[in-house]
């Protein structure tokens, strides 16, 4: 009888310890890296995608046994492939809940903000893609650090400037959704414009 009781106590202790270890491991922030972007369009990409998450990481599902995303780091190129090169700067996303999060980007090789804001994102836990679904509030800064444009309560203009201070991208937002964007060349001449359609996020 005593042997059985000792066995029960030991087994219970082991199960409790194992459960605690699993819970702690699942709740401890972890990250994975995707180096598939080391080459983009034949050019070397110095930056690669990273995902920070909670969970056991046993699957790609967004739950405790899979990955619950809490943050991303992306090459700026992956968000704006038409205006940035593969090795140009990083784009940071901190997720809050329900795919909503804060974002910020910096000018290359500096701590100077390029933009910051919050919105909603479409993403996968394989960390191969991320896209804006909406932008609620954001500020966009020129190369000299001054505020260039902003989006307030879903309405406003997103403007991106190059390293040498030229406007290279502009997008108009209404009700947190982009309506039209324009890409400019190095002389700030319009080279491409596109309007939103029903298939866009």
- 66-82 pLDDT, tens digit each: 888 888 887 887 777 77
Does residue 84 belong to any structural domain of this protein? yes
Structural domain range at position 158: 20-195
DSSP readout, 47-108? --EEEEEES--SSSSSSTTS-EEEEEEEEHHHH-TTTS-TTS-EEEEEEEETTEEEEEEE-T
Q: Give the per-residue pLDDT at 9.
A: 65
Selection from 100, 128, 102 nearest residue 33 by Cα: 128
Instruction: Name the domain count of the chain.
Output: 1
Distance of alpha carbon 90 from alpha carbon 86, whole angstroms: 10
Domain assignment present for 7: no
pLDDT in tens, 10-66: 667 777 777 776 566 666 777 777 766 555 555 555 666 787 788 888 887 778 888
Phi, psi dihedrals of residue 97, rounded to the nearest 5°: -165, 155
Token pair 């739950």: residue: 63
Residue 158, in any domain of the structure:
yes
Whether 54 contacts 26, CB under 8 Å: yes
The DSSP bridge pattern shows strands 39-40 and 30-34 to be unpaired
Task: Please check whether residue 13 lies inside any domain of the structure.
Answer: no
């Amino acid at each position: 009888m005593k042997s059985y009781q000792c066995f029960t106590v030991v087994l219970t202790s082991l199960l409790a310890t194992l459960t605690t270890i699993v819970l702690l491991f699942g709740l401890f922030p972890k990250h994975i890296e995707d180096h598939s972007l080391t080459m983009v369009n034949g050019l070397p990409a110095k930056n690669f995608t990273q995902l920070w998450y909670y969970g056991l990481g046993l699957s790609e599902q967004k739950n405790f046994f899979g990955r619950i995303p809490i943050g991303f780091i992306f090459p700026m190129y992956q968000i704006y492939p038409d205006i940035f090169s593969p090795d140009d700067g990083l784009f940071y996303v901190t997720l809050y809940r329900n795919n909503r999060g804060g974002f910020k980007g910096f000018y290359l090789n500096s701590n100077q903000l390029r933009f910051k804001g919050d919105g909603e994102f479409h993403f996968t836990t394989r960390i191969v893609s991320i896209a804006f679904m909406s932008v609620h509030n954001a500020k966009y800064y020129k190369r000299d650090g001054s505020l260039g444009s902003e989006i307030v309560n879903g309405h406003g203009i997103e403007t991106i400037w190059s390293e040498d201070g030229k406007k290279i991208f502009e997008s108009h937002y209404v009700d947190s959704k982009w309506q039209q964007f324009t890409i400019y060349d190095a002389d700030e001449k319009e080279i491409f414009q596109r309007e939103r359609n029903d298939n866009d996020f």
